[in-house]
Amino acid sequence: MESFMTIQYWLSISIAIIVFSSSTSANETTGTLLQKNFKAKNFSAIKTYCQSVKTELSAFQDCLYYLGRINFDSDNTEQAEHFFKKALEYPPNNPDEYYWLARTSSRLASEASFLFAPGYAKTAEKSFQQALALDKNHLPSLIGLQRFYLFAPSIAGGSLKKSLALSHQIKLLDIGEGLLAELSIYQQKEDIKGINAVHQQVLENLPDSINHRLRLVYAYQQVKNYQVVFELLLPIVNIKLNAKESTEWSTSASLSEKLMSLYQVGKTSAISGLQSKMGIYALKTYITYPQQEKLPELYWAKLRIAQIHWREGNSKQAKVILEEIQSKSFVDRQFSKEFKRFSKRLKQNK
């Protein structure tokens, strides 16, 4: 059995090498091939190939980097940190290696105890800075450091002043990313004047950007300016409530952007009490689509429908929906909290 497994192991390595070699042109490097396989999510091929790399230093370094990326995407954060640190032991290094170590350290800081979090935060800040020392215009690192300064507590290096300065620097390189960076600061401060200023610049410079519209939606929801939220969303979904009830999509929006827009129309109706008919229609349309990755679960949409019915004085229908949802089990703590809060309110009928 052991000899069979050994043959099988080396056969798998040989196949992986053949896969890489057969797709290699004269000008293609191992790093390029690893990048292609990573984008295609051929993680097993990368892992198998990297097990065979022993002597070629550049290929070994590339493998360490992509093994780090695979572990980061798989939420194996400590293992990802190990691979990124190992990759940085072999010069020459590049900004991407420092950037991903910074991202990894940031995640570890957010998950660590009070005792260890400052150490991870310091590594994150230093790694972003080292990436920018190699390339002062490395946009991912500028964005990462800007967000680090915005969200890290001051005791761990957070600084609103530094975050704002970096947002201006980002804007010079990429106006879209710069506006998002500025918006994140104004949203954190609940600065309505600043949010309005970004809104105006988005309309002037990026009128067709669905992503920017959605980010503005979240900011305006936070400051409870619900009328502007509807103004931002309706050009995307263009809901027409008539005898046939139809939704005409913005041609520039992806499916996930369209569905998120529908959900946000419904959520805004649920939390504001405005546009109830439109909100219910939007959420019912959202539920007709299969669950999409990284979008709110369908039970969230059902809860929002119940909340709209309750606001409309239809507690009976709201209770029916809650009973349907209650028969399921949830691991979403935020949902469980919102479900319990609304159930209590419904019982009190207030």
| Digit-coded pLDDT (tens) for 120-175 | 999 999 999 999 999 999 999 999 999 999 999 999 999 999 999 999 999 999 99
Q: Is the dihedral of CA 87, 92, 96, 101 positive or negative?
A: positive
pLDDT bin (cut points 50, 70, 90) of residue 18 is very low
**Burial of residue 274, with CB atoms counted within 10 A of its CB: 0-12 exposed, 13-18 middle, 19 or more buried:** middle
For residue 333, what pLDDT is reported?
86
Q: What is the pLDDT of residues 192-210, one digit of tens each?
A: 999 999 999 999 999 989 9
Is the confidence at residue 5, as pLDDT, over 50?
no
Q: Per the domain annotation, does 162 fall within a domain?
A: no
Is the confidence at residue 249, as pLDDT, over 60?
no
Q: How many CA atoms lie within 13 A of 327 on its CB side?
A: 5
For residue 238, what pLDDT is reported?
73
**Residue 276: CATH number of its domain:** 1.25.40.10
Lowest mean pLDDT among 15-19, 66-70, 123-127: 15-19
Most confident of 45-49, 74-78, 255-259: 74-78
**What's the one-letter identity of residue 347?**
K
- In the 8-state DSSP scheme, what is residue 290? P
Q: Per the domain annotation, does 154 fall within a domain?
A: no
Q: Per the domain annotation, does 2 fall within a domain?
A: no
Q: Per the domain annotation, does 242 fall within a domain?
A: yes
Q: What is the pLDDT of residues 206-248, one digit of tens each?
A: 998 999 999 999 999 999 999 999 999 988 887 654 444 455 5
For residue 250, what pLDDT is reported?
57
Q: Per the domain annotation, does 237 fall within a domain?
A: yes
Q: What is the pLDDT of residues 36-58, one digit of tens each?
A: 999 999 999 999 888 887 656 77
Q: What is the pLDDT of residues 176-187, one digit of tens each?
A: 999 999 999 999
For residue 51, what pLDDT is reported?
84
Q: Which two tokens stand for residue 266?
A: 């419904």
What rounded mean pLDDT belongs to the chain? 87
Q: Per the domain annotation, does 137 fall within a domain?
A: no
Q: Per the domain annotation, does 56 fall within a domain?
A: no
Place of tokens 């900011």: 219
Q: Give the dihedral of Cα atoms 242, 247, 252, 257; nearest 10 deg.
A: 130
How many structural domains does the chain have? 1
DSSP assignment of 110-141: HHS-TTTHHHHHHHHHHHHHHHHHH-TT-HHH
Is the confidence at residue 106, as pLDDT, over 60?
yes
Q: Residues 6 or more apart from 166 whose CB is under 8 A from it?
A: 142, 145, 146, 149, 181
Radius of gyration of the chain from its Cα atoms, rounded to whole angstroms:
25
Q: From its phi and psi, is residue 135 left (phi > 0), alpha (psi between -120 and 50) or beta? A: beta
Mean pLDDT over 334-341 rounds to 91
**325 is in which domain, residue-wise?**
208-350
Q: Per the domain annotation, does 49 fall within a domain?
A: no
